[in-house]
Amino acid sequence: MILAIASGKGGTGKTTVTVNLARVMGSRVQVLDCDVEEPNAQLFLNGEPMRSRTVSVLVPEVDESLCDGCGDCARVCQFNAIVSFGTAPLVFPELCHGCGGCSRVCPKQAIGEVERRIGLVETYVAGDITLTQGTMDVGVAMAPPLIRAVKDAINDGAPAILDAPPGTSCPVITTLRGADCVVLVT
């Protein structure tokens, strides 16, 4: 079972409800702190660190010696992460969603992809509770790829409680996707 704890705003007690639900489960449980901009469940669980891994997304890198400035890459990008004015394109990695469309449509194969670090996923253990949390790097604008990396830690063998970020935007939707039930804290 995957239970998500959410709210339309911050400060309503989502993390308090999440942590206390986990503590009273009476069996092994997973807590996933998906508020990657400000994770704080670890403050209440005080677990022992188990593992940590860096999370990256792929962003375009243009080989200007191969590029003819056709602009196909810019036309396919829905997020304006790559623009071209008849010259080698400009890349805005912080806007890139990592779809890879620009590299696929480039007729000169001038666009490759490189990893761009967006954050860290850490796992802690506190008794029967396994906490996985994501921490987004300063200056990173997109939380959903990091939230998906946190949710990759869900193990089918134990119930999971997801502590959602505040609000109703893309990070919340990414957290709620796949949950069996959502509890709204007001």
| Contact indicator for 174, 168 with CB cutoff of 8 Å | no
Domain limits at 81? 57-116
| Bridge partners, residue 119, by sequence | 55, 136
Q: Which of 35, 2, 38, 7 has its CA nearest to residue 21? A: 2
CATH number at residue 44: 3.40.50.300
Domain finish residue from 99, 116, 133:
116
Q: Are residues 50 and 18 in the same domain?
A: yes
Residues 42 and 67 reside in one and the same domain:
no
Q: Which of 89, 116, 143 is the last residue of a domain?
A: 116
Are β-strands 129-136 and 48-62 bridged in parallel, bridged antiparallel, or unpaired? Answer: unpaired
Are 141 and 180 found together in one domain? yes
Which CATH number covers residue 108? 3.30.70.20
pTM of structure: 0.87
Residues 34 and 77 in one domain: no
What's at 111, amino acid-wise? I
The tokens for 159 are: 């119930």
Query: Which of 122, 125, 104, 102 has its CA nearest to residue 52?
Result: 122
Q: Which residues, including other chains, have CB under 8 Å from residue 114's CB and lie 6 or more apart? A: 58, 59, 61
Task: Give the number of domains in the chain.
Answer: 2
35 with 73, same domain: the answer is no
Does 66 share its domain with 107?
A: yes
Per-residue confidence in pLDDT tens, the chain, 186 aa: 999 999 999 889 999 999 999 999 989 999 999 999 999 999 999 899 999 999 999 999 999 999 999 999 999 999 999 999 888 899 999 899 888 999 999 999 999 999 999 999 999 999 999 999 999 999 998 899 999 999 999 987 899 999 999 999 999 999 999 999 999 999
Identify whether the C-beta of residue 96 lies closer than 8 Å to the C-beta of residue 59: yes
Q: Contact, 9 vs 164, CB < 8 A?
A: no
